[in-house]
Amino acid sequence: MSSLRILARRAATASSRTMLSETSASNGRFFLSMSNKATMTTLASSSSSMSASEGSNLQAALPNNQKTSRRYKSTILPTSDSDKIVLPPMVYIAGEEMTHYATQLVLKQWINPYFNTDAWETFDLSCKARDESNDQVLKDAVDAGKRICAIFKEPTITPSVTQVKEMGLSQHLCSPNGAMRRGWNGITISRDTIHIKGIELGYANPVLFERHAVGGEYGAGWHSVGKGTLLTTYIPDDDNERPFVVDKRDLTDDNNVCVVYHNPYDNVVDLAHLFFKRCLDAKVVPYIVTKKTVFKWQEGFWATMKKIFDEEYKEEFVKAGVMSEEKSELQHLISDAATMQLIRWTGGGFGMAAHNYDGDMLTDQIAQVHRSPGFITSNLVGKTDCGTKIIKEFEASHGTVTDLWNDHLAGKETSINPLGLVEALIGAMNHSAMLHLENNPNDADAKDVHDKVFTFTEQLQRAMHNTFRYGQGTRDMCGPTGFTTEDFIDKVAWRLGRYLAKLDEAEFSYPPPELSEPDRQFRRNYDVDHEAAKKLFDKYDKDGDGTVNFEEFEKMLVKMGLAPKTKEVVQQDVKEPDV
């Protein structure tokens, strides 16, 4: 059958079985809302009848930006279980609830058919397992991470007082993330936006973020006290140095909470190098975020970052064209101003680095602007105790998704988007393969495994992203007619197998459609107050004609502090101290 006839048949099928809920003749973009989930299976499967020669001709005729690129050419498909590729060692930390269920489906259908994972070391960090082992399983997981240096972690639960009782636990359990950050000498938590080519999301281009992995409020000591005097004293390790009082204050209220914490700054040099290298590779402009105008003790963070930038990276950013000679100074943002810029700078193309708490808050904001916590990464970077190896732990940025787990237990349909989970799994597999090759640089088998892992993860990412683009995504992206958890994983498994089978052939594919941003009301936690939004609209619709003209719109943006500013003003935008 000719390519033209295939296209005609696909068009006819699409016309009869899909509903286009949003179209744009000017840019050819549309969002597919499926009336029948089987429809898209038919559409996607129809291309399988095309001959290899027809596919080759079509691929040759496509513009360069639509041809399939491939980093490695390595056969993946095994002929038997014994023929499966043996993956290098990796630590797999299992969690619980809906994300654990989804990960098990992913491993069963996307990973296990192609790989032998016997070298993975698995640790169950469910609350029950931690409680029964008196948290020995957490200690073992941390020790394994130190040895292997490549970790994939599912979301876990740090039980509240109420949950301790509900789960019948014998003790309170600390945050496993805190133990890991300390145990792996955490430097930074890298949180970046995830992008699906061809689908508009909150930020048009990548946003990179480095959150200092240690210190701050998370490790604070505290106590509730009454009236009295609080004395904070520093006692040096060096007996030749005298102790001194860091702070003394009189407490005159009957009810006070005293909090003490510190920020370790030795590893800020490592953080700076990681941050600037990543920004340089991604060609994005770096910004440092602190509240040093008020919190004077944060000056050291900024000073270290600026010193490293000026001495080792400033010229590199200019050479790469990321910054100009005239505007090559490292920019500082007060944390208050950063929260506003994150809303304004939806074009993306920037990076930020901040202290632990500020980084936590700001990356949550980035997640909401971009779409949800499932659309940003969360990768802990640390060092071995000897300082010679980098440890990387990859996890989804979101939690265990308790509401969907309760629905699943009740026998209801669920539709969890595994994007963040799978991007983390891909990162861990790639890092594991890279470490294996670094440890065995002259081993042909290590090189072969490395290439096959990267080939596979590239095709897995492509299969998952294209499934969204073909309108076969989960309900947070496609609305009520979107795929269930199980159907989506089935569909990606089918598409992945198809892509892997064609690695050694002349590849071809119809370019997936370009999609506008899926409506945010598809999200489970969509909670916009329509009545309040209508009142706000009416406030700026001065003439009451049901529309907001440009003048009214501009006034609204200024009033809300969201108006775009010239680049010169943005760079000087510093909020005055509020104390």
pLDDT at 509: 53
Superfamily of segment(s) 202-220+261-370: Isopropylmalate Dehydrogenase (3.40.718.10)
CA atoms of 339 and 358, how far apart (whole Å) = 10
pLDDT tens-digit readout, 82-91: 889 999 999 9
- Token pair in block for residue 152: 């994939």
Given a contact cutoff of 8 angstroms between Cβ atoms, the answer to whether 85 and 432 are in contact is: no
CA atoms of 123 and 553, how far apart (whole Å) = 54
Residue 576 predicted with pLDDT over 80: no
- Token pair in block for residue 552: 């009214």
pLDDT tens-digit readout, 396-426: 999 999 999 999 999 999 999 999 999 999 9
Give residue 62's pLDDT band: very low, low, confident or very high (50, 70, 90): very low
Query: If we measure between CA atoms, which residue out of 459, 39, 392, 340 comes closest to residue 190?
Result: 392
Given a contact cutoff of 8 angstroms between Cβ atoms, the answer to whether 505 and 51 are in contact is: no
Task: Tally the residues of the chain.
Answer: 579
Residue 366 predicted with pLDDT over 60: yes
pLDDT at 508: 45
pLDDT tens-digit readout, 245-262: 999 999 999 999 999 999
Taking all residues of the chain, what is their mean pLDDT, rounded to a whole number? 84
Side chain identity at 72, as an amino acid letter?
Answer: Y
CA atoms of 288 and 352, how far apart (whole Å) = 6
Given a contact cutoff of 8 angstroms between Cβ atoms, the answer to whether 214 and 262 are in contact is: no
Residue 347: half-sphere exposure toward Cβ, Cα within 13 Å: 4
pLDDT at 298: 95
Q: What percent of the chain has pLDDT over 70?
A: 81
Given a contact cutoff of 8 angstroms between Cβ atoms, the answer to whether 51 and 483 are in contact is: no
Per the listing, tokens 């105008």 go with 293
pLDDT at 75: 66
pLDDT at 289: 98
Phi first, then psi: give them for residue 547, nearest 5 degrees: -135, 160
pLDDT tens-digit readout, 510-564: 567 776 667 766 666 667 777 777 777 777 777 777 787 777 777 777 767 777 7
> Does an H or E element contain 248, and which?
strand 244-251
pLDDT tens-digit readout, 165-189: 999 999 999 999 999 999 999 999 9
Q: What is 71-139 written as a DSSP string?
A: S-------SSGGGSEEPPPEEEEE--HHHHHHHHHHIIIIITTTEE-TTEEEEE-SHHHHHHTTTHHHH
pLDDT at 151: 98
pLDDT at 524: 63
∠ CA 431-500-474 to the nearest 5 degrees? Answer: 80
pLDDT tens-digit readout, 177-231: 999 999 999 999 999 999 999 999 999 999 999 999 999 888 899 999 999 999 9
> Does an H or E element contain 229, and which?
strand 228-234
Give residue 266's pLDDT band: very low, low, confident or very high (50, 70, 90): very high
pLDDT tens-digit readout, 281-291: 999 999 999 99
Given a contact cutoff of 8 angstroms between Cβ atoms, the answer to whether 334 and 575 are in contact is: yes
> Does an H or E element contain 381, and which?
strand 377-383
pLDDT at 512: 74
pLDDT tens-digit readout, 98-114: 999 999 999 999 999 99
User: What does the domain layout of the chain look like in residue ranges?
Assistant: 3-67, 202-220+261-370, 221-260, 538-571
Give residue 378's pLDDT band: very low, low, confident or very high (50, 70, 90): very high
Among the residues of 392-546, which ranges form H helices? 402-409, 419-439, 444-469, 475-478, 485-501, 530-540
CA atoms of 53 and 60, how far apart (whole Å) = 11
DSSP 447: H
- Token pair in block for residue 122: 């698995």
Give residue 69's pLDDT band: very low, low, confident or very high (50, 70, 90): very low
Q: What SS3 string covers 142-198?
A: HHHHHHHCEEEECCCCCCCHHHHHHCCCCCCCCCHHHHHHHHCCCCEEECCECCCCC
Q: Are strands 207-212 and 188-190 parallel, antiparallel or unpaired?
A: antiparallel
